[in-house]
Amino acid sequence: MFTFSTRAAKLSLLPVTTLAAAAYAANRGRDVGYMDALSECPSADSETLQNWSGTHSSDFVKVYSPPSLSALKTLVASTADKIRCVGSGLSPNGLSFPSSSTTCVNLSELNTVLGLENDVVEVEAGMTVHDLLAELAKEGFTLPVLASISEQTMGGFVNVSAHGTGLGIGPIDAFVQSFKIVTPGFGVLELSRSDSGYQKKLFDLILVGLGCFGVVYSYKIKVVPKYNLLQKQFVLTREEAVRDMESLKRDYKHMRMMWLPYEDCVVVVASNPSDGSELPKLGVEGDPLQPMRELLKEKGSLDGKLVDGLGMGELRDELLNLDVLNPEWVKKVNAAEARFWKKNSGFVYDSNSKLLNFDCGGQQHVLELCFETTAGGATQGADAEFMLQLLNAIESEGLPAPGPIEQRWSAGSSATMSPAHGEGGDFCWVGGIMYLTTEDAGIRNKITSTFSGTYTDLMLKVGKAFGAKTHWAKREKGSVEAEEFNRIRKLLDPEGRCGNEWTTEVFGF
């Protein structure tokens, strides 16, 4: 078993102004030089940092990787520059990327499980979800919620309120019990879900902090015994999906729907825990990829043997790339994809970590909205109504919208900045997508223009009536009112050193 490290001192309940004056003066007055701090932190030269989809990049001179909490504290306290923590660079909007003249911090050296006790794991924020799952599995545990990918660091996972799918299962932040954060103004703080009064308010506000308050060092997160899932994948019509949505999302622990524009096809991926003692026939019959392969061989120029070796996401990219902005061609691609999903129906049995992590496709633009399923005063059904309105708007506009538009569900979170803020509620998440299928800069720019313009505006217009909020890692534009968020930022980071151009645009600070 693991052992816990020494706990950090907690923030006292002095008046805010007193705390700010005393702590900020103490931290800035430390007899530690900037170069002393950097000498403790391994660094790497780099010219450009680029996110996974290639949609955002940032130029910087060096990235520093502190090997210990002590080195991280010294670095944050000593540098006079802006400071921004960058993880795996997966966010579609480049949320973590530093602006110019920024000290870039990467926590790849802080990637250790510090303790596991009473179903709570303490983990350094630089550890990836994938690596944490591997360590937890050795002890018979897993995380209670998983997003679609596992390469993100725990710091990024929590800071943006990443989510999986399943009623009653909140975003990952809903399972955080406490965390340690290194701030420019107060040094190391530890905040806990069990705190009360003002400290609990700080916990809820900073938990989904978007990197704006400092650098999170570690989290204590509730874990659950690892389990296997029996996953059922099948296709419904839109009418059937609307009819069965309520029962499906309540009958299955994990359930998501994938809607295809211009096609009367809704893919359902639903799973429940299973011990494997009574399993149906697993797998699918025939070659589900045949419709997509035949279309690519007919219309494309790739060698037939090469086409036969491509997976589903690669086939979709190659097909779309033939005329990615032509709505009529995209309709044909979606039709071939619909035939794939119908042939790919069946059962799969595996661990939760393998089935809940899945291939999201190639480089892409994505916008994800979140809203309560009772939005607009409805007792139920806002999630189904949203999808019908969105698809109608896309198809009426004639957008070259590929599939799938993914729909997932979660419980709420106490975190103030979570898009699913509100304990006790049921929330729905819907993601629209366009794939960047080529390296041709001109075509990529046109795809970007279509998605960030017409497609995004359309989704936001439909979402407005449902009170929808945007997933932080997928928000590209627009400002939000965040008076309390900014007030605490100015307390913990008086000089605004932890933000970047994106946070300035969104929050005005």
Q: For every one of its 509 residues, what pLDDT tens digit does the chain have, with 9 covering 90 and above?
A: 333 232 233 333 333 333 333 333 333 333 333 344 444 555 555 556 676 666 666 776 567 899 999 999 998 988 767 888 777 666 666 666 666 667 788 899 999 999 999 999 999 999 999 999 999 999 999 999 998 777 889 998 999 898 888 999 999 999 999 999 999 999 999 999 999 999 999 999 999 988 889 999 999 999 999 999 999 999 999 999 999 999 999 999 999 999 999 999 999 999 999 999 989 998 888 899 999 999 999 998 889 899 999 999 999 999 999 999 999 999 999 999 999 999 999 999 999 999 997 666 778 888 999 999 876 556 568 999 999 999 999 999 999 999 999 999 999 999 998 999 987 789 999 999 999 998 899 999 999 999 999 999 999 999 999 999 987 655 655 556 688 888 998 999 988 888 877 777 777 77
Q: Which part of the chain is CATH 3.30.465.10? A: 16-225+483-507
Q: Which part of the chain is CATH 3.30.70.2520? A: 231-474
Distance, CA of 258 to CA of 330 (rounded, Å): 16
pLDDT reported for residue 284: 85
Count of CB atoms within 10 A of residue 195's CB? 18
- Are the C-beta atoms of 109 and 126 separated by less than 8 Å? yes
Q: How far is CA 215 from the centre of its chain?
A: 18
One CATH from 3.40.50.970, 3.30.465.10, 3.40.50.980, 3.30.930.10 for 16-225+483-507: 3.30.465.10
Q: Class of 231-474 per CATH?
A: alpha beta
Distance, CA of 216 to CA of 156 (rounded, Å): 10
Distance, CA of 344 to CA of 78 (rounded, Å): 56
pLDDT reported for residue 25: 35
Distance, CA of 86 to CA of 485 (rounded, Å): 21
- Are the C-beta atoms of 207 and 222 separated by less than 8 Å? no
Q: Is the dihedral of CA 156, 160, 163, 167 positive or negative?
A: positive
pLDDT reported for residue 424: 77
The contacts of residue 414 (CB under 8 Å, 6+ apart) are: 174, 193, 204, 207, 421, 423
Select from 181, 178, 170 the least CA-distant residue to 224: 170
Count of CB atoms within 10 A of residue 6's CB? 5
402 secondary structure, DSSP code: P
